[in-house]
Amino acid sequence: MAENTYLIRGAAILGGEAQDLLIRDGVIAARGTDLSDEGATVIDGKGLVALPGMVDVHTHLREPGREDAETVETGTRAAALGGFTAVHAMANSNPVADTAGVVEQVHSLGRASGWVDVRPVGAVTVGLAGEQLAELGAMADSRAQVRMFSDDGICVHDPVLMRRALEYVKAFDGVVAQHAQEPRLTAGAQMNEGTVSAVLGLTGWPAVAEESIIARDVLLTQHVGSRLHVCHVSTAGSVEIVRWAKARGINVTAEVTPHHLLLTDELVRSYDPVYKVNPPLRTDADVQALREGLADGTIDVVGTDHAPHPSEHKECEWAQAAMGMTGLETALSVVQETMIETGLMTWADFARVTSFTPAVIGRVADQGRPLEVGEPANVILVDPAARWTVDPHKMATMGRNSPFKGKELPGSVVATFFKGHPTVLDGRLNTPYQHPAVSN
């Protein structure tokens, strides 16, 4: 049998009609019913949903410099198992990805691992310090061809600097991905400001700290005529501001994380630091608004904000604990539970918010493509009827800080094809894709 030819039989394409997909030499060679190919490896797709490989616009791979939390190798293994074929690696590594050299290093590590396409995100400011613009043009012109820039984890709070960044990235069709958090309104904040924070006596993180930055930045974006992406929207007010901006024709996109679609600040009553995250878990009213915003297109995409931490940074007192949650291996299941099983979205909608649109935002040309003949074979097979219990110790990520530990979730990734090569088969890691040698 040809190693590069696979025949998927009878999978529901985007949750619709059951058809066969023939994958050969990295592309979809045929689509239809009763397909045959004597040299193909046959995969039974009955009862499975065929979807385009997921694209994450917001992942923390930690390497270089923070390999005690995650590496490109472990993070991309987790991504493949979660159904991703591309991830955008945020810039807050050590050294910060604020030069062409660092983003090229991350890009090279991704190619060497071969599990997914790794797209480095360049820092907006030098060292994430918010004082001067980083080498945006050099990173855009590098082998990594960076198109997304973010100081994620820290807000670009200086409006003049934010304006300059928006102006600069216009030259190469880039986008600034903003971590919306007014620092003066969140000094010492530990959780969402509200009833629960008052009861627990923890310093609150008001919704207006996020919403005020989004409001400012959509107006700056309109003034400059550039592209803005809002990271991890978490409040009902933020959804309304983005909706208003889109109605005015402002070129803004927004993401929501899986954990903000499901979890609320009520969980903080446990004082378990696994629930400490930036932005914080909000109220049930916010959760419902986020779901509605994702369903109606106000929020464009799901971004995991996968943020692994060493155990000692989470297994400690709440006040000292790091902020962040893992998410690559649970994202599909959480979105299935919150959006598909609630009737808010279909699997075709799922493909839009996890693959098609994220690829457009990140300008990743060969990802997020329709499952049609001639398109790159970045394909996943999902068993929507599966049920599984989250065990962080069985995950590929080095991070054990999953907020879904012990929770039963629906849906599982049965297979992931990256550039026509099965990185995941039968729900387990197979082998990585071998990139062709690049001649100098």
Report strand pairing: 175-178 vs 228-230: parallel
The span from the CA of 162 to the CA of 339, in Å, is 34
* Selected catalytic residue, list 305, 349, 391, 426: 305
Strand partners, 260: none
**Is 313 known to sit in a ligand binding site?**
no
Q: Are strands 49-52 and 379-389 parallel, antiparallel or unpaired?
A: antiparallel
Question: Residue 393, annotated ligand binder?
Answer: no
The full length of the chain comes to: 440
58 known ligand binder? yes
Q: Is residue 164 annotated as involved in ligand binding?
A: no
61 labeled binding residue: yes
Give phi and psi for 59, each to the nearest 5: -130, 145
Residues 243, 293: contact at Cβ < 8 Å? yes
Structure tokens at 225: 């005529």
- Residue 378 labelled as part of a binding site: no
The conformational region for residue 346 under phi > 0 = left, psi -120 to 50 = alpha, else beta, is beta
Helix %, strand %, coil % for the chain, to 5? 35, 25, 45
**Residue 278 assigned to a binding site:** yes
428 labelled ligand-binding:
no
CA-angle at 61, arms to 58 and 63, nearest 5°? 140
Instruction: Check the annotation: does 60 bind a ligand.
Output: yes
Q: Is 305 a catalytic residue?
A: yes
Please state, as a whole number, how many other Cβ atoms lie within 10 Å of the Cβ of residue 200: 16
Residue 232 assigned as binding residue = yes
Does 4 show up as a binding residue in the annotation? no
Parallel, antiparallel or unpaired: strands 5-13 and 49-52: parallel
Residue numbers in the known binding site are: 58, 60-62, 92, 152, 179, 232, 278, 305, 309
| Residues carrying an active site annotation | 305
Q: Which residues define the annotated binding site for substrate?
A: 60-62, 92, 278, 309
Pick out the residues of the known binding site for Zn(2+).
58, 60, 152, 179, 232, 305
